[in-house]
Structure 1
Amino acid sequence: MLQNNAQLKSLIDKLWQNFWEGGIANPLTAIEQITYLIFMKRLDDLEAKRERDAEFTGEKYSSRFKGKFQIPGSNESIDKNELRWSVFKHKPADEMLMHVQMKVFPFLKEFSKSSNPENSDSDNFTRHMANAVFIMPKASLLVSAINIVEEIFREIEKDATEGGHAFQDIQGDVYEMLLSEIATAGKNGQFRTPRHIIKLMAELVAPQLGQRIADPACGTGGFLLGAYQYILTDLVRKKDPAKLSKDEDGFERAAISAMLTQKVKTILDQSFVGYDIDTTMVRLGLMNMMMHGIDEPKIDYKDTLSKSYNEDSQFDIIMANPPFTGNIDKGDINEGLKLPTTKTELLFVERIFNMLKMGGTAAVIVPSGVIQNSGKAFEALRKLIIEKAELKAVIAVPSGVFKPYAGVSTAILIFTKGGETNHVWFYDMQADGYTLDDKRNKIAESDLPDIVQRYKNRLNQDFQDDGMNKINANKKSGKSSNSENPDSDRRQKYFMVPKKEIVENNYDLNLSTYKEEVYEEVAYEKPDVIFRRLESIEADIQKGLAELKEFV
């Protein structure tokens, strides 16, 4: 949706530029401050709508802006109505800056708890906001930022009215675009997962309404939202498929807000759980979920590799892109993690395995070392997900997918805890719909829809042991296996490999270990033909030199 609105893109770029010029150059700091402003604006708009609806229906409604607010650290209290965006935006610049810093922002930090004091999840939001700081170097920056946010919301309203898109969906897209500007490459091995890769992984694990979904290193909550949006789109698919359309990445999408009935919303509010060890990311994740319609998200500050974590066998679906680099102190490692290593990229996959219920499925991005390194711990992890789970797929991802943040080579692993691995499906992704350089411009070539289709169809093929033995025999004899099964032709981008062969290769999951390379035969001319051609060329050169000498 947002991709087609040039005005919204321009306004978001303008907002970033204003913060940069205003002295806030750190993208993570800027996005946090922008988020607070958007949150203030959205809170006021939602309250105004609820007040109008209550007035129209005659129902009683107690506004969040009713009554007095005790300003922390002082004996002063203020009418909550003075804390509304629609009120304070009209104040003079310097007065407005002090008002927002000293009164509005403290209210924002506590509003969730005060509006629902009995709910522990509301208290969770307030707890994580406790150390949040409103940073605005000068009044002029606040004024310009408020004006741009106002323009953004007017454009969202216009797009919703004229384009027929749901306000909630467009607002979510706007926030996703803001988050995409975070460039924290190399920070503890973390970087933002591209949205289309998240959508791909959601399609592969297909989360359903009522399932519990988690991410043990959730960052801004991108994977949780990917699952959330897939579930709502799937509800539209089942109820009214005519309302589906293809998005810019070739995935089906619908106006998900239309499916947010109170019953569905109640279920979804209990469905998503995320953890992160970065307090800023936790706050951004909480507000990101709330921007998309989940009022009381369960995102918490916690190191899921440490001894303090104890939520094993709790989840139906896990989608994650955990930190790739770093080590954890051996004394801090959770007792449930048995791998002989302190490497986080290995421990996180074991953690994900442990978090799954029996029959639960995970989609996890891992660096290439995890799938091919010969070290003892690496092999032990691969053995775990092959012997104690059904390893369904290994999708090799081009190194450029995570640019400009990083050029690391990765793979997506799909496995179901407690299942039995018989064959593993490999896919060699070569194009993800964007250029694989730092610019990441949109292109037509994309393997993503093909991956989804072929992954879902892979089980329609007959992979009985007799058939596989015949295929392997043909492979050794140099015959093509394509006649037995197209998914077993290892010259293709996708193919099946039997568990036995993987075990014999020390559980190596590197696609190139099993892929059959095709070399084109090059026909060279006979030596005497080549010599005659060279002699002819030499004669032409001598003739040319002779002609040039006549002019000297």
Structure 2
Amino acid sequence: MPPEIRIPVRDLGNLLEFHDACRVVAGLMILRNQARYSPRSDQHSLWNWLLAQTDKPQQQMGLSVRECLPRYQDEEGRAFVPRLPPTADDALRRLVKAIHRAGRLDDCLDQCFQDLSEAKAKSGDYFTRNDVVRLMVAAVDPQEGQRVLDPVCGSAGLLIGADRHVSGRTGRPSNLELTGQDVHASALHVARMNLDARNLDARLLPPMDSLARPAESSYDIVLANPPFNASWRAEPRTDDPRWSDEAAPPQDNANLAWILHIVHALAPRGRAAILMAEGAATGARHVEQRVRGRLVQDDVVECVVALPPGLFAHSRAPCCLWLLNTDKGPRDEWGSSDRRGKVLFINARKAYEQAPRRKRRLSPKGVEQVLRTLGEWREVDGQYRDEAGQCRSVTAEEIADQRYDLQPPKYTGELGIGDAPEQRQIDELAAELRDRFQESRVLEADLLRILDEL
């Protein structure tokens, strides 16, 4: 995007709560879109009136913007408009003027959300980066008419990315069935406004913790960027179809719970792309090994990609992209190679370039290399070859020999950050100690129950 049409949102982000700032930006984009493309003269008048207020130094821009923003109702039917303090007036003036001058509003809105995410990421508020969205969507390659779910949808960026992927390939609006979930009502407000700003339709479910119960439908594509290493305290349920007693996820970390939840939501030939903290692939506790063992034995793990550290403003830690597939056999419409019983590991830790403000982002060349490797591995005539330090196709038996460790550099022949033998030994000892603590807590609970029954 040319620098002259960058939208100044960081000051606004410093003055408002994260989701409120996103609501304001998306609402103004919707209003500008309506003025630009709607034949109704009142839409032009409303935007022009708001634009005129920016030249009145004594005018409280917060009140003017609140008057014009589209009204969105909460779950109780109340119209919600963010409160805009007088301290935000100057930032709002600059924002309205910049949006008026902007060209492609879709690109501008993407940039605004990314800038706000970078500004607020350290407080835990952020949306999936656009470069990562493009990789995730292209890796699962949604097709027309498919059902797409994001169970932790945030701003709906991954759903919008899926729509762009299909419409870009076909040259016409996609007919994907898009569904989004999120635990935060404020995030769902932003998602709805983000979709409306692009004239896209999606079913957004009421606010809820997606992990609380299994998905009610099955989906052809699932795209997700769950919170990394979030705490999770699930009520034990022996009848939960997402996991068995032998492969239930740990309750102190939700990473593997998210993966099992998504596996259960996939249709018989469904595919998923999940962004995960590296610990989900490497955790050495027995409970973590059991869950990964089930995933490998059930043959749903298609590929794990090690991504560069420093992609996200809130963390320098590396992460992995998990690609799941419930049918890795040969089929005409999706890969002619039979990859059952195998997992592809790709080490893309160096696939980055420097971005402004000393940030990193995935390089186009690096993304292209990951997708090319994946495509060649899926096709019989793709001429796939293992490449030391880059990629390797591994059998389920070898993965079992490695205690179901799914960290790509372990198989591609290049140790990654924190993977030195001494560190691995420390991690394994720490994991064993955590297992002992967990066993002691279970024993304590059993003893207390017996005492209560006496």
- 2:325 corresponds, among 413, 416, 424, to 416
Alignment of 1:405-484 (within 5 A): 405-419=314-328, 421-435=340-354, 439-440=358-359, 446-460=365-379
Contact 1:213 1:317 in 2 (8 A): yes
Q: 1:132 deviation in Å? A: 3.0
Determine if the alignment matches structure 1 residue 325 to structure 2 residue 314: no
Paired residues of 1:217 and 1:322 also in contact (CA < 8 A) = yes
Question: Which residue of 277, 299, 303 corresponds with 1:367?
Answer: 277
Match of 2:190 in 1: 284
Q: Distance in 2 between matches of 1:454 and 1:418?
A: 19
Alignment of 1:38-437 (within 5 A): 38-46=29-37, 49-51=38-40, 84-87=46-49, 89-90=51-52, 94=59, 98=63, 101=66, 104-105=68-69, 108-109=70-71, 127=75, 130=78, 132-138=80-86, 141-142=88-89, 145-146=92-93, 148-156=95-103, 170-181=104-115, 182=117, 183-185=119-121, 191-236=126-171, 259-260=172-173, 264=174, 267-268=175-176, 271-295=177-201, 298=204, 300-307=206-213, 310-312=215-217, 314-331=218-235, 335-338=240-243, 339-342=248-251, 343-402=253-312, 404-419=313-328, 421-435=340-354
The verdict on how the C-alpha distance between 1:126 and 1:280 changes in structure 2, with shifts beyond 3 A counting, is closer
In structure 2, the residue matched to 1:512 is 409
After superposition, give the CA deviation of every residue in 1:202-256 in whole Å (9 maximum; x if it has no partner): 11110011001111111111211111111111113xxxxxxxxxxxxxxxxxxxx
Residues 353-381 of structure 1: CA deviation (Å, up to 9, x unaligned): 11111110011111111112122331232
- The answer (yes or no) to whether the contact 2:75–2:206 under 8 Å persists in 1 is no
Instruction: Give deviations 1:87-106, integer Å, cap 9, x for gaps.
Output: 455467548755654x545x
Question: How has the CA–CA distance of structure 1 residues 152 and 381 changed in structure 2, closer, same or farther, with 3 Å as cutoff?
Answer: same
String of CA shifts for 1:13-61, please: whole Å, max 9, x gaps. 3x533x37xx715454333323333333333444xx3348xxxxxxxxx
Q: Percent identity?
A: 18
Q: CA deviation at 1:509?
A: 1.1
Instruction: Say whether the 8 Å CA contact 1:82–1:88 is kept in structure 2.
Output: no
Residues 378/83 of structure 1: CA separation in 2 closer, same or farther (3 Å cut)? farther
Q: How far did residue 507 of structure 1 move? A: 1.7
* 2:450 aligned with 1:488: no
Alpha-carbon RMSD? 3.4
Letter in 2 for 1:173: D
Q: 1:347/1:184 Cα in 2 relative to 1: closer, same or farther (>3 Å)?
A: farther
Contact 1:198 1:226 in 2 (8 A): yes
TM-score by length of 2: 0.76
Counterpart of 2:240 in 1: which secondary structure?
coil
Stretches of structure 1 that go unaligned for 5 or more consecutive residues are 53-64, 66-80, 111-124, 157-169, 237-258, 464-484, 519-552
Q: Structure 1: which amino acid aligns with 2:20?
A: T
Does the residue aligned with 1:427 lie in a helix, a strand or coil? strand
**For residues 162 and 320 of structure 2, what CA distance do their matches in structure 1 show?**
19
Please name the residue that 1:470 is paired with: none
- One-letter amino acid of the structure 2 residue matched with residue 455 of structure 1: L
User: Counterparts of 1:141 and 1:516 in 2: how far apart (Å)?
Assistant: 53
Residues 179 and 202, structure 2, Cα contact 8 Å, conserved in 1: no
1:359–1:418: 8 Å Cα contact kept in structure 2? yes
Q: Give, in whole Å, the separation in 2 of the partners of 1:446 and 1:187.
A: 31
Q: Is the Cα–Cα contact under 8 Å of residues 290 and 296 in structure 1 kept in the other structure?
A: no
Aligned amino acid, residue 80 of structure 2: A
- Matching residue's letter, 2:290: A
Q: Is the 8 A contact 1:396 1:411 kept in 2?
A: yes
Q: Using the alignment, how far apart are the partners of 1:394 and 1:85 within structure 2?
A: 48
| Aligned residues of 2:342 and 2:396 also touching (Cα < 8 A) | yes
Q: Give the length in aligned residue pairs.
A: 394
Going from structure 1 to structure 2, the CA distance change for 1:486 and 1:285 (only over 3 Å counts) comes to closer
Shift of 1:86: 3.2
Structure 2 unpaired stretches of 5+ = 330-339, 416-454
Q: What residue identity is the alignment partner of 2:411?
A: Y
Q: Which residue of 2 aligns with 1:164?
A: none
Tell me, in whole angstroms, the C-alpha distance in 2 between the residues paired with 1:129 and 1:405: 35
Local SS of the residue matching 2:403: coil
Aligned 8 A contact 1:394 1:411 in 2: yes
Matching residue within 10, 29, 33 for 1:16? 10
Structure 2 partner of 1:534 = none
Would the aligned equivalents of 1:488 and 1:497 in 2 still touch at CA under 8 Å? no
Which amino acid in 2 is paired with 1:193?
A: T
Quick one: structure 1 residues 419 and 430, their matched pair in 2 at CA, closer, same or farther if it must change by over 3 Å?
A: closer
Q: Secondary structure at the match of 1:341?
A: coil
Paired residues of 2:223 and 2:274 also in contact (CA < 8 A) = yes
What is the SS of the residue equivalent to 1:401?
coil
SS in 2 for 1:400: coil
**Candidates 395, 402, 427, aligned match of 1:498:** 395
Equivalent position SS for 2:385: helix
3-state secondary structure, aligned to 1:294: coil
**Highest CA radius of gyration, 1 or 2?**
1
Select the structure with the greater relative contact order (CA < 8 A; seq sep ≥ 6): 2
Amino acid across the alignment from 2:324: F
SS in 1 for 2:166: helix
* Shift in Å, 1:277: 1.2
How far apart are the structure 2 equivalents of 1:436 and 1:380?
Answer: 39
Alpha-carbon offset, residue 129 of structure 1: 7.9
2:241 partner amino acid: G
AA partner of residue 232 (structure 1): S
Q: Distance in 2 between matches of 1:40 and 1:445?
A: 33
Per-residue deviation, residues 123-148 of structure 1 (Å, max 9, x unmatched)? xx66488363332222x854762564
